[in-house]
Amino acid sequence: MKNKGMVLVSSDFPSAMKNCLVSDGWEAVNVPFCDQVMPSIGGHPELQVFVIDQQEIIVHPDIPNSFLETIKRKFSRIIVGNKHLSKEYPYDIAYNGKIIGDTFFHKLENTDPILLKSLTLAGYEFADVNQGYSGCSILNIGNEALITADAGIAQSADILGFDVLLITPGSIDLHGLNYGFIGGACAWDGLETVYFCGNVKHHPDGAKITEFIHQFGYKTVNLSENRLTDYGSLLFIANNHSIL
């Protein structure tokens, strides 16, 4: 099996699903558990790191050095952010944005300033939205489309010309909280596949979600037969390809 690249997953990501990614050609690396945020989301990658591209990643200041040593094999530029994380919202969202095409979605007043500077230097445009957990609220489908249950994000994306599927909130499990988000329960790998942490058929909009993805030419893979579960965003860094 050809190595497709690296994927960053939660510290509590199930081994069976991790093995599915590995068997599909991905090197799966666990992001360490973060004690500074709520325990239910302490392992979620999108709270702790932000992948600019296959060379550059931004990390929160308290992330362990052992993790940085692991990802040095993939990233030539590892940049430490300015904002420390903590349990109270909005002090846990500094790195939880989402790039789609050339646009960065986030609640910009709470974005880490070093992340904003890096994105500005790279030429990205900005979509300021009210949803601080933008990264886990958005499933991007390639560079031109997205799925979300957040009406504010959907409206902003539609105005900017993206194809948008607005789905019903809920029906995604997240241990310790009432429900999770679509972007934390599945991800596009930057190549040809959208992976689901569970089986999308259990979602009330499962058929619409699948149809929407397929119309853009991507295939779907269910990593288990359980309900969709938010383990935090799967952050794919494909070899010799941009993830954006």
Ordered per-residue pLDDT tens for the chain, 244 residues: 689 999 999 999 999 999 999 999 999 999 999 999 999 999 999 999 999 999 999 999 999 999 999 999 999 999 999 999 999 999 999 999 999 999 999 999 999 999 999 999 999 999 999 999 999 999 999 999 999 999 999 999 999 999 999 999 999 999 999 999 999 999 999 999 999 999 999 999 999 999 999 999 999 999 999 999 999 999 999 997 544 4
166 half-sphere exposure, CB direction, 13 A CA radius: 9
Where are any strands of DSSP class E within the chain? 5-9, 26-30, 49-51, 56-59, 77-80, 98-100, 103-106, 125-128, 138-141, 145-148, 163-166, 186-188, 193-196, 219-222, 235-238
Measure the CA–CA gap between 47 and 44, rounded to whole angstroms. Answer: 6
Question: DSSP string of 2-14?
Answer: ---EEEEE-TT--
The CA-atom distances, in angstroms, between 198 and each of 95, 133, 144, 184, 208 are 25, 21, 25, 11, 16
| Alpha helix stretches (DSSP H) within 147-222 | 151-159, 206-214
> Looking up tokens 């500005």, which residue turns up?
120
Q: How many CB atoms lie within 10 A of CB 92?
A: 25
Quick one: pLDDT at residue 244?
40
DSSP summary character for residue 120: H
Question: Which residue matches tokens 């300021």?
Answer: 128
Mean predicted lDDT score pLDDT of the chain: 96
d(CA 27, CA 129): 33
Give the pLDDT confidence score for residue 170 in this predicted structure: 96
Question: How deeply is 23 buried, as exposed, middle or buried, from its count of CB atoms within 10 A (0-12, 13-18, 19+)?
Answer: exposed
The predicted structure's pLDDT at residue 2: 84
In this predicted structure, what is the pLDDT of residue 243?
Answer: 45
Position 242 scores a pLDDT of 42
Helix (H, G, I), strand (E, B) or coil at 39: helix
What's the pLDDT score for residue 30?
Answer: 98
Per-domain boundaries in the chain: 5-238
Q: Which CATH number fits domain 5-238: 3.40.50.360, 3.40.50.720, 1.10.760.10, 3.75.10.10?
A: 3.75.10.10
pLDDT of residue 184: 98
